[in-house]
């Protein structure tokens, strides 16, 4: 809509709108989050629904400045099969911080709000950290193998923390999201991993296995999202300044094998091997889909 303006000016305007949107929504969200601390389950449930509506409004406003600053061509398939009142495990390939805005733009109100597992340190991010806490985003403290070797008493706490976090999701429909690659794809990381996939890093299966252990009775479907940028992975500034020409997104709804629900990934080696094989098969299919998308949507088409 503002394509007649220079990209730098569009980016500055979009940044200002994002900041204003975040601060205004935070000013409404924070008092409700404080009320939610009161020990009354019915009131807490009401506050939870109100907080989710505020977050959905924030995402809607973000979609507004994205349309204002750019003229992105969205090629999205598979969203219509989703249910706003469903319970989903969601994953996607990860190329850029733009991925998160792409997911929110296309999935907002089409399914329950995406809940990301976050590093515990992120709770201290100004404003946004409090928002994540108020919205019941799970904060995780992960331990390295070296640390666990020195402190074996900490073993299993990842699973316990995941289970406690997921307890909050048992009364409200939820879409628990996990980037299986764990980090953004770059040529350097791809080479360092010696990844067997052409367009993906190696997937990490432990995170979603813990979720299925904690919430196996509720999560029955996997939403497998594939994102392709024909012009290459964009930066967040590219999105703000209206430089993202086209985004291709595919959503595939897949069943979660029942034999993978409620199992002990950490201590059951046979299950762990079978689960990793399933995840690797999903990733091989995604890699093939990305190859087709690269052929179908080449750069500058």
What pLDDT sits at residue 232?
A: 94
Residue 262 pLDDT grade (very low, low, confident, very high; cuts 50, 70, 90): confident
Q: How many residues does the chain have?
A: 301
C-alpha distances in Å from residue 6, one per residue of 71, 98, 130, 231? 14, 21, 35, 20
Q: Which residues contact 36 (CB under 8 A, 6 or more apart)?
A: 43, 44, 47, 48, 51, 134
Domain edges within the chain: 74-296
Q: How far apart are CA 231 and CA 259, in angstroms?
A: 40
pTM of the model: 0.92
Q: How far apart are CA 95 and CA 181, in angstroms?
A: 10
Among the ranges given (80-84, 116-120, 184-188, 274-278), the one the predictor scored with the smallest mean pLDDT: 116-120
What pLDDT sits at residue 26?
A: 97
Look at the block and give the residue holding tokens 């996990």: 178
Among the ranges given (21-35, 74-88, 229-243, 257-271), the one the predictor scored with the smallest mean pLDDT: 257-271
What pLDDT sits at residue 264?
A: 82
What pLDDT sits at residue 149?
A: 66
Out of 3.40.1130, 1.10.10, 1.10.287, 3.90.320, the CATH code matching 74-296 is 3.40.1130
C-alpha distances in Å from residue 288, one per residue of 41, 79, 231? 47, 20, 19
Among the ranges given (82-96, 112-126, 248-262), the one the predictor scored with the smallest mean pLDDT: 112-126
201-237: pLDDT as tens digits: 999 998 888 888 877 678 879 999 999 999 999 999 9
Using the predicted structure, report yes or no on whether residue 248 has a pLDDT greater than 80: yes
């Amino acid at each position: 809509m503002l394509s007649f303006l220079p990209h730098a000016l569009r980016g500055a305007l979009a940044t200002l709108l994002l900041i204003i949107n975040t601060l205004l929504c935070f000013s409404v969200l924070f008092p409700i989050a404080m009320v939610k601390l009161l020990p009354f389950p019915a009131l807490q449930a009401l506050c939870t629904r109100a907080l989710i509506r505020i977050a959905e409004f924030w995402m809607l406003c973000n979609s507004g400045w994205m349309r204002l600053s750019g003229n992105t061509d969205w090629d999205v398939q598979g969203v219509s099969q989703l249910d706003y009142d469903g319970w989903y495990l969601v994953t996607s390939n990860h190329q850029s911080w733009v991925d998160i805005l792409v997911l929110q733009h296309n999935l907002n109100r089409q399914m329950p709000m995406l809940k990301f597992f976050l590093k515990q340190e992120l709770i201290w991010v100004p404003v946004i950290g409090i928002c994540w806490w108020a919205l019941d985003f799970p904060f995780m403290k992960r331990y390295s193998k070296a640390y666990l070797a020195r402190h074996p008493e900490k073993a299993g706490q990842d699973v316990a923390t995941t289970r406690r976090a997921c307890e909050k999701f048992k009364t409200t429909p939820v879409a628990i999201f996990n980037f299986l690659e764990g980090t953004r794809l770059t040529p350097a990381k791809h080479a360092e991993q010696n990844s067997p996939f052409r367009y993906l890093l190696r997937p990490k299966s432990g995170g979603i296995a813990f979720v299925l252990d904690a919430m196996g009775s509720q999560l029955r479907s996997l939403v497998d999202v594939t994102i392709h940028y024909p012009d290459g992975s964009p930066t967040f500034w590219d999105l703000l300044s209206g430089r993202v020409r086209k985004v291709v997104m595919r959503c595939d709804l897949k069943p979660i094998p029942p034999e993978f629900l409620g199992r002990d990934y950490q201590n059951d080696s046979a299950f762990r091997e079978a689960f990793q094989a399933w995840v690797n098969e999903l990733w091989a299919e995604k890699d093939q889909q990305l190859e087709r998308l690269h052929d179908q949507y080449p750069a500058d088409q």
